Structure 1
Amino acid sequence: MIDFIKILVKDLHPSILEANPLLDFYDNINLSTGEIKTTNHKGQKITPYKNAFYNSLEFKIFENGTITINGSLHKYNNSGAHNYNDFNFSAFLGVLNDLKQKFSIDLNNCILRCLEIGINITPPKPTNQILEYCFLHKTRNFEYRINSDEGKYKQCQHSQYIIKIYNKALHYKSKGFKINTEILRFEIKYTKMERLNKLGVFNLNDIAKMGFKYFEKELITEWENVLFYDNTIVSNSNRINNYKNPLYWCKLIESNSKTNYYKHKGILKDLTSNNSDKVQSQITEIMRNKITFLSQEGASFDTLYIKSIHTPHNQTTNTINNNICKVTKVNISMQKDNSILLSHTGLKYYYKTDKKIYKQIKRNYLSKRWFNSDFETQIKEIAHNIRNKKSNGKTKQIKIYQPQQINLLSYFNL
């Protein structure tokens, strides 16, 4: 249920993260001039920072010492690969524990700056059909959006939060995942914390204490705030042609006559209640049941596959993750089982499915000389540089510890 987060980490010295072997930090440098970037793509001034990635989370250390972490906790639980399966409360607590152990993070000091809560369900009707008939949220229009990471979805933006509805199955099928069911995702993205703060949610530890069930009312209320036309309505009412036309509702809103809008919304509600399969109400009930299921600490979660290759989930133990690249620290379970480094296959996978990770890897492991070369050459050079970094590290160790020299670290299995 908890997905994307952006947190401000207080009372953690940057050197603790900088010294962490799981994180490789790089400055945000202008490749043309060699200068550290001080403005964004809009020309606005920004505080210079360096960043590192681990399992889809981005760690940023700003020049002034501020530390932020952003990314999907759901993807983190799947080694950064995806977020289309169920992410229950036990898995969420496992991720928090993993972050505490690996990065010395105090959950009470992880102050929320952005939070997504959402739920994946199997809908009673085809997902695309449901998306088509979601016209408004409250009195604001839904708009179709396309994002390289999230695919095509419907969105409605309010002053403090955004409502999103996805065809999650279609999105991940296009990335090569094997999904045999319809998956509709409904999501609230809080862009300002005022509303959550009133509910007593300020940091990650608050969510851990309250549990997922605490967010049920928020999700159900916002779903029921969707103006949804149920195309299973069977009625001779001459209003139907108007009600199934999204432009009709938009014109009612634009006419500044909200009384008229709510009048017709009430009539539609009565028509739906007495003459349809009540699809929106069915979805409400499915959501309630799913939230109850995900809120149980012992709930199990499904087995996932990338193409035909098993994807590890719940990577929150202290065991070594054999599906993580030894150099880049990204998930490589889409490669051969015996892979230890990100290769051509993995690089092409990230180029297709997660441009953010691909661009970070490209920036870190492709020299400026090859930046304008063709795609295949770039892939070849990136993979080559990753191998070099691994072998150079091994060579360095051999130089430091000569064969005849006793290595105390090895002696103590360190």
Structure 2
Amino acid sequence: MIDNTKFLTDNQTIIERLQTHPDFVVCRPKTNNYYSLRHKDFGIKLSLDFRKAVENGKVVGFCHLEINVSPHYHFNQYRHNGNDFTPLQAISTISDILTYLDVKQREYNELNVCNIEFGLNIIPDADTKDLINGLYFYKKTPFTIPDTKKPYFKKTDATNYKQIKAYAKGLQFLDVPPYGINPNTFRFEVKSKQAKNICKYGINTATDLLNLETYNRLGQSLLNEWDFILCSNKEPDLSNANTDEVYFIEQGANVEFWSKLITEKHRNTFQLNREKYYKILGRKNNLHQQIKTKIVDKIFIYSKCANSTQRTPINREKLQNGKTTSTLINLEYAHFTKCLVTGLNISMQKKGSKFLCFSGLKYYKENAPEIYKSLKKKFLSEKMKTEKTERQFYYMAHNIRNSKTNPIHNRKSFEKRNYNTQQLQINF
């Protein structure tokens, strides 16, 4: 999930130690204000930039050090970053890098995170090239192609401190089949360039990157950012659409249509038309929803992997500045939207949802049948288990909600209206 990351420290002990690390060689600095080193084998993927301290025109030392690392590349022996990279793997890899650099655990809070990239590699059902061609806007900021030689790499400067990137990761490694990277791999990524923005993710120092809660927040952030993306389908199946719908979808395939909407005097015009566009496309043609589902699936898998090693100790050392790391990794999926009754992830549902409902139940039935089976056992009577799936969803969602809002009266009145009087009742 995490890739290029920059740590900044003014701790002179760390600076002096890394200045003499035997595996680094002098390289061209990014500006004349720096003295730079890169790893002798891995190059700039693992590099050090020392900010010069100058007095009376002479360099008298270094005021701070910037440590540039690429955890995902490190995980793959610096060959590629085209595969999955789970939170647990990221934690282990970052710890490994810092150990290699001879940074002590008690010094982790001395490394401030000032630059970070995080994202997911997804294999869409649609052709990645078509998907990227249809990416027009993040909110109302257009995507651009920085390098015309790389037409399937797009980015948008969302703010002065944040970039959104979307590109065909699989195309980068077509000439190295042994890496096993699917040619259709799509990467969606956020780059945060200022500490004041990074802290919004609960990240301040290297210590925070060793906490699984951090990755929960990053995953939720990726979902939230994807919701702001306008993704057009240039070749939808319109066989079931009426004339007006066909016309609107055909208009929506052109970026100029959306650009004009942005200039409308009503600020909600763009958003309302985007919602209308996605609704008409439906599930079959809605590439945006398909990718969102893939993101949710990937995050859900990461969460299950983390929970399989629950309460694994990672660090018990006392840190400087009176801080300590968490003695246990908290693996609860807390920072993603969760049902207030079941505790299950409901990120796939409409924003603001509090309880597992129709779309969430459908998701678990299709993607996590064992979880769905346990839900049926708890929230459906024997008789209702024989009903059609849609009616099962309805009754389950109602019983889930009422077990929180009014566990006795509401359930009884609901059953009286809908259940046969001889039917076995549900006890929560």
Q: Which TM-score bucket, shorter chain as reference? A: 0.5 to 0.7
CA contact (8 A) 2:38 2:47 kept: yes
Alpha-carbon contact 2:132-2:152 (below 8 Å) kept: no
Q: Contact between 1:252 and 1:258, CA under 8 Å: does it hold in 2?
A: no
Structure 1 stretch 98-107 or stretch 181-190: which is displaced more?
98-107
1:285 aligns with 2:319: no
Correspondences of 1:94-109 after superposition (within 5 Å): 94-105=92-103, 106-109=107-110
The amino acid of 2:202's aligned partner reads G
Aligned counterparts, 1:287-302, within 5 A: 287-295=295-303, 296-297=305-306
Q: Which amino acid in the other structure matches residue 209 of structure 2?
A: I
Aligned residue for 2:125? 124
* Cα distance in 2 between the residues matched to 1:180 and 1:254: 40
In the TM superposition, what is the alpha-carbon distance from 1:257 to its structure 2 partner? Answer: 4.1
User: What is the CA-CA distance between 1:284 and the residue it aligns to?
Assistant: 1.2
**Contact preservation (8 Å) 1:134, 1:228:** yes
CA distance in structure 1 between the partners assigned to 2:153 and 2:112 by the alignment: 28
* Match in the other structure for 2:35: 49
Residues 26 and 186 (structure 1), Cα distance of their counterparts in 2 relative to 1, 3 Å cut: closer
Match of 1:328 in 2: none
Q: How many residues get paired? A: 283
Q: 1:73 to 1:180 in 2, by over 3 A?
A: closer
TM-score by length of 1: 0.62
Answering whether residue 274 of structure 2 is matched by residue 265 of structure 1, we say yes
In the TM superposition, residue 82 of structure 1 has moved relative to its aligned partner by 1.1
Task: Report if aligned partners of 1:18, 1:25 keep a CA contact under 8 Å in 2.
Answer: no
Distance 2:148 2:168 in 1: 13
Deviation at 1:19, TM superposition (A): 2.6
Please give the residue correspondences for 1:14-413 in structure 2 after superposition, counting only pairs within 5 Å.
Answer: 14-26=15-27, 28=29, 40=31, 46-53=32-39, 55=42, 56-64=45-53, 65=62, 66-105=64-103, 106-146=107-147, 152-159=152-159, 160-174=161-175, 179-209=181-211, 210-230=213-233, 231-234=235-238, 235=241, 236=243, 237=245, 238-255=247-264, 257-273=266-282, 276-295=284-303, 296-297=305-306
C-alpha distance in structure 1 between counterparts of 2:214 and 2:202, whole Å: 12
Deviation at 1:96, TM superposition (A): 2.0
**Secondary structure in 1 aligned to 2:146?**
strand
Partners in 2 of 1:285 and 1:72 — Cα distance?
27
1:156 is matched by which residue type in structure 2?
T
Q: CA deviation at 1:281?
A: 1.6
**Structure 1 residue 220: Cα displacement:** 0.7
Match of 1:239, SS state, is helix
| Alignment partners' CA distance in 2, 1:26 and 1:140 | 37
Offset, 1:216: 1.8
1:358 maps to what in 2?
none
Secondary structure of residue in 2 paired with 1:258: coil
Quote the Cα distance in structure 1 between the aligned partners of 2:15 and 2:288: 48
Q: CA RMSD in A?
A: 2.7
* Aligned-partner Cα distance in 2 for 1:18–1:261: 53
Distance 1:100 1:281, change over 3 A: same
Judged with a 3 Å threshold, the aligned counterparts in structure 2 of structure 1 residues 151 and 206 are, in CA distance, closer, same or farther, namely farther
CA contact (8 A) 2:46 2:69 kept: yes
Ranges in structure 2 where 5+ consecutive residues have no aligned partner? 54-61, 310-428
Distance in 2 of aligned mates of 1:198 and 1:298 = 25
Q: 1:299 to 1:58 in 2, by over 3 A?
A: farther
Structure 1 CA distance for aligned equivalents of residues 201 and 136 of structure 2: 29
Distance of 1:281 and 1:195 partners within structure 2 = 27
Q: Counterpart in 1 of 2:388?
A: none
Distance 1:71 1:247 in 2: 40
Q: Quote how far apart the aligned CAs of 1:206 are.
A: 0.9
**Quick one: distance in 2 between partners of 1:193 and 1:147?**
31
Aligned partner letter, 2:286: K
Alignment CA distance shift 1:284-1:26 (3 Å) = closer
Question: Quick one: structure 1 residues 100 and 147, their matched pair in 2 at CA, closer, same or farther if it must change by over 3 Å?
Answer: farther
Deviations 1:170-205 (A, max 9, x none): 111156655445201000111223333133211221
Structure 1 CA distance for aligned equivalents of residues 205 and 175 of structure 2: 35
Are the counterparts in 2 of residues 233 and 271 from structure 1 also a CA contact under 8 Å? Answer: no
Q: Measured at CA, do residues 221 and 27 of structure 1 come closer, stay the same or move farther in structure 2, by a change above 3 Å?
A: closer
Q: Runs (4+) of structure 1 moved beyond 6 Å? A: none
AA aligned to 1:87 is F
Contact 1:89 1:211 in 2 (8 A): no
Give SS of 1:198's match. Answer: helix
**Is 1:6 matched up with 2:6?**
yes
Deviations 1:34-91 (A, max 9, x none): xxxxx94xxxxx5131322263211122322211112421112222221111112232
Residues 97-125 of structure 1 show CA distances to partners (whole Å, capped at 9, x for unaligned) of 22232222232222111111100011121
SS of residue in 2 equivalent to 1:232: coil
What is the TM-score with the length of structure 2 in the denominator? Answer: 0.60
Q: What percentage of residue pairs aligned between the two structures are identical? A: 21
- What secondary structure is seen at the aligned counterpart in 1 of 2:236? coil
Amino acid across the alignment from 1:23: F
Whose relative contact order is higher, 1 or 2, with alpha carbons under 8 Å and at least 6 apart?
1
Query: 1:63 is paired with a residue of what secondary structure?
Result: strand
Which residue identity is paired with 2:201? L
